[in-house]
């Protein structure tokens, strides 16, 4: 399997005045095409920090992060934006929909930046909305939807640009178990279609949807579980 994201000896240190927080300590890890990863670990263990780094939103204090074999630190702001726009899809715990935009407009936001025409993106919006079973709510505003529906909109938005990697930070964190399972079913489906998924979660039941598991503690990788065997570090 071809590695899509390679983390090599990455450290991330936050300086808070006198205090120094090591969110990541010399982490190295390869994520390959088509895998479904769950990042587990207690609060503050550095899961979100790692995910944001893979999403080119954050940069490491030291070490390198490669996407498709290209060192992210060599790219400028515009190139990083382009990379996110063409290859990545984000799903957040708090949905992060833009409140004044309708469901359809939220879904097609990546297409707006890709320069799609109004007509093309409208068609795509309906296609994506029906994928998450919200085709009848495209003209609604996010606040008129339930949490689960909002997260489905967020997933549809993450899918709009046909990403090869989806990065999800606690996608079910704000949802009850039933709606959470619906979301997970959706993600599993997408993974079956070949999209690499890396997901942060607290809940072991949610993590069970994933094929691979990565346990973190205090900024280091504690344990990696692959489908064949569990490797203890």
Partner 1 sequence: MRHQAIVKTIQLGLRSLWLHKLRSCLTMLGLIFGVGSVVTMLAVGEGASQQAIDKIRKLGATNIIISTEVPKAKQKGRIRMKIFGLTNKDFESIAQTCDRVRHLIPARIINTQSMSKNRLKDIRLIGTKANYFQLIDQPLLTGRTLLDFDLEQRAQVCVISEKIARELLNNSHTIGQEILLKDQYFKVVGIIQSAEQTDQNSFTQPTDVIIPISTMKTLFGDSAIENKGGSTTWEKVELHKIYAQTYSTEDVEQTAKAIETIIEDNHPDKDFNISVPLALLKQTMETRRMFNIVLGAIAGISLLVGGIGIMNIMLANVTERVREIGIRRAIGAKKIHIVGQFLIETVVLSVLGGLIGILCGISLPAIITYFTEMPTLITSGSIILAFGISASIGILFGLYPAYRAASLDPIKALRNE
Ligand X SMILES: Nc1ncnc2c1ncn2[C@@H]1O[C@H](COP(=O)(O)OP(=O)(O)OP(=O)(O)O)[C@@H](O)[C@H]1O
Residue 50 C-beta: closest distance to partner 1, Å = 13
Check residue 121 for interaction with ligand X (CB under 6 A).
no
DSSP 110-123: HHHHHT--HHHHHH
Distance of CA 91 to the CA centre of its chain: 5
Residue 212 C-beta: closest distance to partner 1, Å = 24
Report d(CA 194, CA 88) in Å as an integer. 14
Q: Are 89 and 153 in contact (CB under 8 A)?
A: no
48/161 with CB nearer Mg ion? 48
200/207 with CB nearer partner 1? 200
DSSP collapsed to 3 states, 134-164: CHHHCCCCHHHCCHHHHHHHHHHHHHCCCCC
Report d(CA 147, CA 95) in Å as an integer. 8
Provide the mask over 22-61, with x wherever binding to partner 1 is found by CB under 8 A and - wherever it is not: ------------------------------x--x-xx---
Distance of CA 90 to the CA centre of its chain: 4
Check residue 172 for interaction with ligand X (CB under 6 A).
no
Check residue 43 for interaction with ligand X (CB under 6 A).
yes
By the criterion CB under 8 A, which residues form the site for partner 1?
A: 52, 55, 57-58, 77-78, 81-86, 88, 90, 92, 96-101, 109-110, 112-115, 117-118, 157, 161
By the criterion CB under 6 A, which residues form the site for ligand X?
A: 14, 16, 21, 23, 41, 43-49
């Amino acid at each position: 399997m071809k590695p899509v994201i390679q983390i090599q000896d990455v450290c991330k240190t936050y300086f808070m005045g006198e205090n120094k927080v090591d969110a990541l300590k010399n982490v190295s890890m390869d994520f390959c095409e088509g895998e479904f990863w769950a990042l587990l670990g207690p609060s503050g263990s550095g899961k979100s920090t790692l995910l944001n780094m893979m999403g080119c939103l954050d940069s490491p204090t030291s070490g390198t992060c490669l996407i498709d074999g290209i060192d992210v630190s060599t790219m400028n702001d515009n190139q990083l934006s382009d990379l996110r726009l063409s290859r990545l899809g984000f799903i957040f715990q708090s949905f992060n929909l833009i409140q004044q935009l309708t469901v359809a407009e939220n879904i097609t936001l990546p297409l707006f930046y890709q320069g799609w025409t109004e007509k093309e993106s409208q068609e795509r919006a309906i296609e994506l909305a029906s994928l998450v079973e919200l085709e009848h709510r495209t003209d609604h505003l996010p606040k008129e939807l339930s949490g689960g529906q909002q997260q489905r909109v967020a997933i549809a938005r993450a899918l709009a640009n046909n990403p090869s990697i989806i990065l999800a930070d606690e996608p079910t964190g704000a949802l009850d178990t039933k709606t959470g399972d619906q979301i997970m079913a959706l993600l599993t489906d997408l993974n079956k279609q070949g999209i690499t998924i890396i997901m942060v979660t607290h809940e072991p039941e949610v993590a069970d949807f994933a094929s691979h598991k990565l346990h973190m503690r205090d900024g280091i990788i504690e344990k990696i579980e692959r489908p064949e065997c569990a490797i203890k570090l």
